[in-house]
Amino acid sequence: MKKLLSLLALGFSIIFLASCSNKDSLSGKYYDIYDGEAELVIEFTDKGGKFYKEGTHAITDADTKKQSFTFSSNGREYVVTYTFSEDGTLKYDTGSFMTGSNKFVAYKEGSEAYKEATQ
C-alpha cells in the first residue's frame, strides 16, 4: 500500500513539475499578422532559434527571466525585450536594430490570440 501511495505521489509530482516548466518555455513559431495574413517572424527552439526581421538571424541567447533574446546582424549584437501573455501574444521591442517603429506584436502559432488575429 505504501508503495502504491509513493508511486502516485511521484506521478503527481512529475506532472506538476512538467506543467510548471512549460510556462516559461517560448518554444514555437511566432507570426506577425497583417490583414489576416501571417508571416513567420520568430522561431524559438530549446537551443535558441531564428529571428526573421530584415533577414534571418540566429538567436544566440533567450532569457525567459529577463524576458529578452539576443541576435547578431552585421557583426553587432542586438537585445530584443518582450512580454509574453498567456493567450499567446508576444509584444517585442527590437531596440536600435531598426529605424522607425521598434515595437511589434507577434502571435504564437495555434494560440487563441493567433486564431483571433487570423480570422
Nearest Cα neighbor of 27 from 65, 62, 71, 70 is 62
Q: How many domains does the chain have?
A: 1
Residue 21 located in a structural domain: no
Q: Who has greater pLDDT, 87 or 23?
A: 87
Residue 18 located in a structural domain: no
Q: Who has greater pLDDT, 24 or 62?
A: 62
Spatial separation of the C-alpha atoms in residues 64 and 55, rounded to whole Å: 24
Residue 31 located in a structural domain: yes
Q: What is the CATH number of the domain that holds 43?
A: 2.40.128
Q: Who has greater pLDDT, 93 or 36?
A: 93
- All cell numbers assigned to 16: 506538476
Residue 19 located in a structural domain: no
Amino acid at 112: E
Residue 11 located in a structural domain: no
Spatial separation of the C-alpha atoms in residues 97 and 102, rounded to whole Å: 8
Residue 109 located in a structural domain: yes
pTM: predicted TM-score of the whole model, two decimal places: 0.74
1 pLDDT tier (thresholds 50, 70, 90): confident
- All cell numbers assigned to 40: 513567420
Residue 10 located in a structural domain: no
47 pLDDT tier (thresholds 50, 70, 90): confident
Of the chain, the percentage scoring pLDDT greater than 90 comes to: 61
pLDDT for residue 11 is more than 60: no
